[in-house]
Amino acid sequence: MQRIDTLDDIKAGLEALCASDSRLIGIRRIAGEVPLRRSPPGFESLASNIVAQQVSTASARAIFGRLIRLIDPLEPTAVLAADEAVFREIGLSRPKQRTLLAVSESVIAGDLDLEALCLLDPENAIRQMTAVPGIGPWTAEVYLLFSAGHPDIFPARDVALQAAVATAFDLPARPSDKELTQLAESWAPWRGVAARLFWAFYRETRGREGVLDATTGKKS
């Protein structure tokens, strides 16, 4: 398996995707820079993904900033030692608190090896991660994309990806996760790069009025 470790890997994936699906050529033009977005595997990276669930990027960044400031070092033992007042100051929701505590317990018990997971195939890795209470497929997929560099994962439950694909292909509504999963099958074995491409496209197009023409890059 070729991991996504460098911007050259992103470029190679984009070239392969555009060669196999010409619709993506204009989307790539609009998206502009497609970032690598890699992070080292481990507890801190997974905690960041947990914080990011169902909140805006700005909110996630603010909450995670408080988390690493108030629980320092950000390690399982320190999380388990934190009291309710600390979590309140951080602004972490009760469900996310429970997830972070469950992950901490699983790591300490040896049931969840976050670095070894990166060496597994995605199906087995996701199965192990989602066995921990509070970790759903989206969190597991995002961790494997950005901490393990898996090249062929597409988090179809991601609302931004659904919105980006709907805009790019002028769909009448956001596709469901099942519909998006099926649509993304044609982008294998580079679905991880396709996801980055559509996140970059979303970054460039959200909030703009009108529909962007993926061929010209102009609003219609």
Q: Can you give the pLDDT at residue 209?
A: 36
Q: What is the pLDDT of residues 31-47, one digit of tens each?
A: 999 999 999 999 999 99
DSSP string covering 173-201, please?
SPPPHHHHHHHHGGGTT-HHHHHHHHHHH
Q: How far apart are CA 1 and CA 13, in angstroms?
A: 13
On whether both 32 and 93 belong to a single domain, the answer is no
The residue out of 108, 128, 146 marking a domain boundary is: 146
Q: What is the pLDDT of residues 9-29, one digit of tens each?
A: 999 999 999 999 999 999 999
- Is 75 a member of any domain? yes
Q: How far apart are CA 100 and CA 95, in angstroms?
A: 9
Q: Taking the complete model, does pTM exceed 0.85, yes or no?
A: yes
Q: How far apart are CA 143 and CA 177, in angstroms?
A: 18
Q: What separation in angstroms does the CA of 114 have from each of 45, 108, 120, 127? A: 10, 11, 11, 13
On whether both 118 and 168 belong to a single domain, the answer is no
Q: Which domain holds residue 26?
A: 7-36+153-205
* Helix pair 43-52, 137-147: axis angle to 10 deg: 130
Q: Can you give the pLDDT at residue 2?
A: 81
Question: Phi and psi of 212, rounded to 5°?
Answer: -85, 135
Structural domain count of the chain: 2
Q: What is the pLDDT of residues 60-96, one digit of tens each?
A: 999 999 999 999 999 999 999 999 999 999 999 999 9
Residue 190 has pLDDT above 50, yes or no: yes
Residue 213 has pLDDT above 80, yes or no: no
Percentage of the chain surpassing pLDDT 70?
93
Instruction: Give the chain's radius of gyration (CA, Å).
Output: 18
- Is 215 a member of any domain? no
Contact 79, 100 (CB under 8 A): yes
On whether both 29 and 51 belong to a single domain, the answer is no
Residue 203 has pLDDT above 60, yes or no: yes
Q: Can you give the pLDDT at residue 186?
A: 96
Q: Can you give the pLDDT at residue 56?
A: 84
Instruction: pLDDT band for 54, please (50, 70, 90 cuts).
Output: confident
**Residue 185's domain is classified under what CATH number?**
1.10.1670.40
On whether both 119 and 166 belong to a single domain, the answer is no
Q: How far apart are CA 215 and CA 18, in angstroms?
A: 13
Instruction: pLDDT band for 220, please (50, 70, 90 cuts).
Output: very low
Instruction: pLDDT band for 1, please (50, 70, 90 cuts).
Output: low
Contact 79, 44 (CB under 8 A): no
Percentage of the chain surpassing pLDDT 90?
89
Residue 178 has pLDDT above 60, yes or no: yes
- Is 56 a member of any domain? yes
- Is 217 a member of any domain? no
Buried b (16+ CB within 10 A) or exposed e, 17-55: bbeeeeebebbbebbeebeeebbebbbbbbbbbbbbbee
- Is 216 a member of any domain? no
Q: What is the rounded average pLDDT for all residues in the chain?
A: 91
Query: Lowest-pLDDT range, 107-111, 154-158, 185-189, 214-218?
Result: 214-218
Residue 128 has pLDDT above 80, yes or no: yes
On whether both 48 and 137 belong to a single domain, the answer is yes
On whether both 158 and 97 belong to a single domain, the answer is no
Q: Can you give the pLDDT at residue 218?
A: 38
